[in-house]
Every structure is written in structure tokens, then in C-alpha cells.
């Protein structure tokens, strides 16, 4: 009896010893760009989960949709030799940081928790480098969506558009009805987000050739001229104040009925939910007309930096918390995205979320799942910036559609 007690005491002492360094290290510093209402609400789920596990959250928010500004701040932090524990990051950026040797190694944890079996291959492409896990995926977003004010749609005839021509007819009707047909924020990444959908609307093969393969003929083709012409048509439905507007303010215009619709990734849904709007009742989610059956994805991942030994335990706790199935449900139902794991039921998701999950599975099975250029999964950062420059300059009237297609091919070539 005595011996057993003694053994027990020794065992607890060992546990305590093992836990002691952990307790000191339980803090994560997280750099991210989730600053809008819906984004912050989703991030809070993670903060609270970690805090419940005794991990203190040092917040490092850098506002700016799609993370352009966040990536600049990150560069200066890393250059000064002081990387954060974890950084929200998109596709090709993760690979770049890994190639430069700045990321840690989550492979043991990934093996222990069986990540390889549940994370879709399209995401693993960016969560792993040289066979090592370097990032934990939080979600799958998709850019080829439109968000429509239900009342405005009803006033415009009630039928959600399924083709380019139907889209234009609905936009015309909304204009006639005296509202701003298309809410847009003129920032390069938002222009690029619409461009993603417009190019995809001209065919999966065209998107693949022009954006993923960066084939010079596709980039300067007649089809690309058509894509730029469509961008001009869409621009005709923006209001005069679109320049520089943040994406969530454009979502707010649809939410309050000032505008009819917004072409934006499904993080926009987070704003509608935050405003207590219900899909199907207050707003309608559709695939960008002409892109049904296809999905342009991006995935927010927490890239884990190669931090000092005393920070590794907390970093792993965070990675494990991110991959937890219950967290993936709690976070993604608020964020507008869908889980980064294939073993999660769609039960807790609303109709748009259910559609997002079904579309993703279908597109993955049919070969119509491709990376979003505008959100770092279709092309490297250099090429993405080169495309943004031309798309934005054209949208602001600097080039004709014909010249824009030529400029695009030249700019992409120069960025390679
Ligand atoms: C995307 C990101 C989303 C959302 C959006 C707007 O790149 O994947 O999570 O934050 O930018 O900021």
C-alpha cells in the first residue's frame, strides 16, 4: 500500500516537473489580419479555446484585407530576428517562408493526430514543405461567390442569376430600382477577387491556362480581352465612391440595402451573420454566375515559425487547438468558411455553409477545384502582384481591354 502511494507521489512529481516549463511558456503571439466584425468574432473562438487551456494570447492584428499589410509587417519582424509564434498566412507565402528556412516543424504532432488522413490534399500542398508539416490549416474559403440582398433581389424579379447575361439583367433591374447594383471596394486585392471569378466564368480550362499555368497565349488571348471587357461592364455598376473602400464596408452596403450585391469570398458571410442576417431570408449566396460546379479556394493557415525552445510547447498547443474538429466547426460557422478537415459533418452549418462544403467536395472530385489567384493559392506572390497591377490599372481606366490583355502577359512574364 505504502509503496503504491509512494509510486503515485513520484508519478505526480514527474508530471509536475514536466508541466513546469510548459506553464512558463504558455503564451502565443499571433499575427493576423482578422479585424472586421465577423473576422474578429471568429478569431475570438480560438483565443477563448486557448485561454481555457491556459495559453495566453498576444494579439498582433494588422488590418488590411487579404493580408497584404500583414505580410509587410511580418517581413520586418522576421528581419529583426523576432518572429511571432504563429502567423495567419495564405498558400504560396507559406511555401516561400518555408523555403527560406524560417518555419518550424509540426510533423510529430501531425503524425500523432493523423492530420494527413483528414486534411484535403489541395491544402496539404501548402501545409507541408519538404515532407514536413509547417502550418495548421484553419479553414477553406472560396472566392467565386456573390452575396445578394434578398429584398433587392425580390424587387429585381426574385430569381438569382445563373449566367453572365442573367447577372447583367439583375444588375440593370437593381439600377432601375434606384440602388447601387454592385458594392465594391477599389483595392487591388478586391479588384483581383472579382477578376478571379470573371476569368473562371470563361471556363475552368481558361482559368487553368491563364492563371495557374500562366500560359502567355492564354494571358493575351481574345478570351482575356473578353474578361477585361466584363470587368469594365461590372465597373459600370459600382457607385462613385468605390475607390479604397474596405471590403466589409461594401458588405455593409448590401446588408443595409444600399446596394444589391457584392462579389466577394465567403468571409463576407461572416459580416452578414454578425449583423444577425439569415441566409435565404435576408441574403442569398450564389456562385458567381457561370462558375457553378467550380471552386476557387484559399485556406487560412497558421504558419508556425521556428521559435525558441521555450515557446514550442505553446505553439504546439495552438496547432493542436486549430486542428481540433470541434474548433473547426465553432470557428468556421462564424467565419463563413468551411472546415479544413474532411471528417466533419455539415450539420451545424447554415445553408450557405452546407453548399460550400458540398461544392468543395464535388469540385475536388471533378477536377474543378483550383487555387484562388487573388488569395495566394493560384500563383506566387510576385505574379499575383503583377496581375493586380494590371487589373487595377485597367479598372481605373488606364488601359483598354485589348491593351490590358497584352500588358498582363508582359507583366506576368516579367514577374516570373
Ligand atoms: C482572405 C482571408 C480571409 C479574409 C479575407 C479578407 O485572404 O483568407 O480569411 O480574412 O482575406 O480579409
Quote the CA–CA distance of 257 and 252 in Å, as a whole number.
Answer: 8
Q: How confident is the model at residue 1 (pLDDT cuts 50, 70, 90)?
A: very low
Q: What are phi and psi of 34, to 5 degrees?
A: -90, 85
Instruction: Give the three-class secondary structure for 313.
Output: helix
Strands (E), 188-294: 259-263, 283-287
142-296+356-415 adopts what CATH topology? Answer: D-Maltodextrin-Binding Protein; domain 2 (3.40.190)
Least confident of 5-14, 33-42, 193-202: 5-14
Q: Is 39 in the pocket of ligand 1 (CB under 6 A)?
A: yes
For residue 386, the CA-to-ligand 1 centroid distance in Å is 20
Ligand 1 site, residue 377, Cβ cutoff 6 A:
no
In order of 134, 213, 319, 336, 350, the CA distances from 328 in angstroms are: 19, 32, 12, 12, 15
Pocket flag, ligand 1, residue 90 (CB < 6 Å):
yes
Give the domain ranges of the chain: 2-140+299-348, 142-296+356-415
pLDDT of residue 179: 98
Cα 60 from Cα 264, distance rounded (Å): 25
At residue 15, does pLDDT exceed 80? no
Angle between helix 91-99 and 381-395 (nearest 10): 140
How would DSSP label each residue in 273-308? HHTT--BTTTEEEEEPTT-TT-EEEE-EEEEEB---
pLDDT > 70: percent of the chain = 94
Q: Which residue's CA is the closest to the ligand 1 atom numbered 12?
A: 65
Confidence of residue 70 (pLDDT cuts 50, 70, 90): very high
Instruction: Please give the Cα distance from 342 to 330 (Å, whole number).
Output: 15
Average pLDDT, integer, range 181-208: 98
Mutation choice for ligand 1 from 35, 46, 62, 67, CB with most ligand atoms inside 8 A: 67
Question: Which backbone phi and psi does 181 adopt, to 5 degrees?
Answer: -65, -45
Q: What is the pLDDT of residues 266-283, one digit of tens each?
A: 999 999 999 999 999 999
pLDDT at 6 over 70: no
The confidence score (pLDDT) of residue 17 equals 42
Site to probe by mutation for ligand 1, drawn from 32, 65, 381 as the one with most ligand atoms within 8 Å of Cβ, is 65
For residue range 200-223, what is the model confidence (pLDDT) as tens digits? 999 999 999 999 999 999 999 999
Q: Is the pLDDT of residue 8 over 90?
A: no
How many angstroms separate the alpha carbon of residue 38 from the centre of ligand 1?
Answer: 11
pLDDT at 208: 98
pLDDT at 288: 99
Residue 93 Cβ < 6 Å to ligand 1: no
Query: Is it the case that residue 9 has pLDDT exceeding 70?
Result: no
Query: Would you place residue 394 in the very low, low, confident or very high pLDDT band (cuts 50, 70, 90)?
Result: very high
Matching CATH topology for 2-140+299-348 and 142-296+356-415? yes
Q: For 287-299, what is the mean pLDDT?
A: 98
The chain-wide mean pLDDT, for the chain, equals 94
Q: Tell how far the Cα of 127 is from the centroid of ligand 1, in angstroms.
A: 17
Please identify, by atom number, the ligand 1 atom nearest to the C-alpha of residue 299. 8
Mutate to test the pocket of ligand 1, among 267, 269, 377, 384 (most ligand atoms within 8 A of CB): 267
Question: Which among 375, 381, 384 is the best mutation to test ligand 1's pocket, defined by most ligand atoms within 8 Å of the CB?
Answer: 375
3-state secondary structure of 132: strand
81-129: pLDDT as tens digits:
999 999 999 999 999 999 999 999 999 999 999 999 999 999 999 999 9
Specify the range with the lowest mean pLDDT, choosing from 8-12, 53-57, 181-185, 365-369.
Answer: 8-12
**Residue 250's closest CA among 335, 193, 168?**
193
Judging by DSSP bridges, how do beta strands 135-137 and 300-304 pair with one another? Answer: antiparallel
Average pLDDT of span 388-415: 98
Q: What percent of the chain has pLDDT over 90?
A: 94
Beta pairing, strands 180-182 & 283-287: unpaired
Query: Using a 6 Å cutoff on CB, does residue 29 contact ligand 1?
Result: no
Give the model confidence (pLDDT) of 307-329 as tens digits. 999 999 999 999 999 999 999 99
Does 267 sit in the ligand 1 pocket, CB within 6 Å? yes
pLDDT above 80: residue 7:
no
User: Which pLDDT score, from 0 to 100, does residue 2 have?
Assistant: 40
Question: If you average pLDDT over residues 373-382, what whole number do you get?
Answer: 97
pLDDT at 16: 42
Residue with CA closest to ligand 1 atom 8:
300
Question: Is the CB of residue 65 below 6 angstroms from any atom belonging to ligand 1?
Answer: yes
CATH of domain 2-140+299-348: 3.40.190.10
Amino acid at each position: 500500500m505504502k509503496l503504491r502511494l509512494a509510486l503515485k507521489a513520484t508519478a505526480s512529481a514527474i508530471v509536475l516537473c514536466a508541466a513546469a516549463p510548459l506553464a512558463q511558456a504558455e503564451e502565443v503571439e499571433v499575427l493576423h489580419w482578422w479585424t472586421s466584425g465577423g473576422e474578429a468574432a471568429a478569431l475570438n473562438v480560438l483565443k477563448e479555446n486557448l485561454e481555457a487551456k491556459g495559453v495566453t494570447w498576444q494579439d498582433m492584428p494588422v488590418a488590411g484585407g487579404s493580408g497584404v499589410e500583414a505580410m509587410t509587417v511580418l517581413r520586418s519582424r522576421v528581419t529583426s530576428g523576432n518572429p511571432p509564434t504563429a502567423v495567419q498566412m495564405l498558400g504560396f507565402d507559406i511555401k516561400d517562408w518555408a523555403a527560406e528556412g524560417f518555419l518550424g516543424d509540426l510533423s510529430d504532432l501531425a503524425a500523432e493526430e493523423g492530420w494527413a488522413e483528414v486534411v484535403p490534399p489541395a491544402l496539404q500542398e501548402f501545409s507541408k514543405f519538404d515532407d514536413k508539416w509547417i502550418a495548421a490549416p484553419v479553414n477553406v474559403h472560396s472566392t467565386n461567390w456573390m452575396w445578394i440582398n434578398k429584398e433587392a433581389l425580390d424587387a429585381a424579379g426574385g430569381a438569382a442569376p445563373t449566367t453572365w447575361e442573367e447577372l447583367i439583367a439583375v444588375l440593370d433591374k437593381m439600377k432601375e430600382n434606384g440602388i447601387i447594383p454592385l458594392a465594391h471596394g477599389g483595392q487591388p486585392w478586391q479588384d483581383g477577387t472579382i477578376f478571379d471569378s470573371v476569368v473562371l466564368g470563361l471556363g475552368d480550362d481558361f482559368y487553368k491556362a491563364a492563371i495557374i499555368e500562366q500560359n502567355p497565349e492564354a494571358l493575351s488571348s481574345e478570351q482575356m480581352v473578353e474578361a477585361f471587357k466584363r470587368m469594365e461592364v461590372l465597373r459600370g455598376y459600382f457607385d462613385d465612391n468605390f475607390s479604397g473602400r474596405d471590403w466589409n464596408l461594401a458588405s455593409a452596403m448590401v446588408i443595409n440595402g444600399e446596394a444589391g450585391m457584392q462579389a466577394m469570398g465567403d468571409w463576407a458571410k461572416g459580416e452578414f451573420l454578425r449583423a444577425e442576417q439569415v441566409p435565404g431570408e435576408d441574403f442569398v449566396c450564389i456562385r458567381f454566375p457561370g462558375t457553378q460546379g467550380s471552386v476557387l479556394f484559399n485556406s487560412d493557415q497558421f504558419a508556425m515559425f521556428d521559435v525558441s525552445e521555450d515557446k514550442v510547447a505553446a505553439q504546439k498547443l495552438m496547432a493542436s487547438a486549430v486542428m481540433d474538429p470541434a474548433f473547426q466547426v465553432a470557428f468556421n460557422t462564424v467565419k463563413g468558411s468551411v472546415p479544413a478537415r474532411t471528417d466533419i459533418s455539415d450539420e451545424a452549418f447554415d445553408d450557405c455553409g452546407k453548399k460550400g462544403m458540398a461544392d468543395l467536395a464535388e469540385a475536388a472530385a471533378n477536377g474543378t477545384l483550383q487555387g484562388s489567384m487573388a488569395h495566394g493559392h493560384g500563383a506566387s506572390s510576385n505574379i499575383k502582384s503583377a496581375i493586380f497591377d494590371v487589373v487595377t490599372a485597367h479598372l481605373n481606366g488606364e488601359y483598354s481591354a485589348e491593351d490590358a490583355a497584352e500588358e498582363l502577359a508582359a507583366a506576368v512574364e516579367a514577374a516570373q
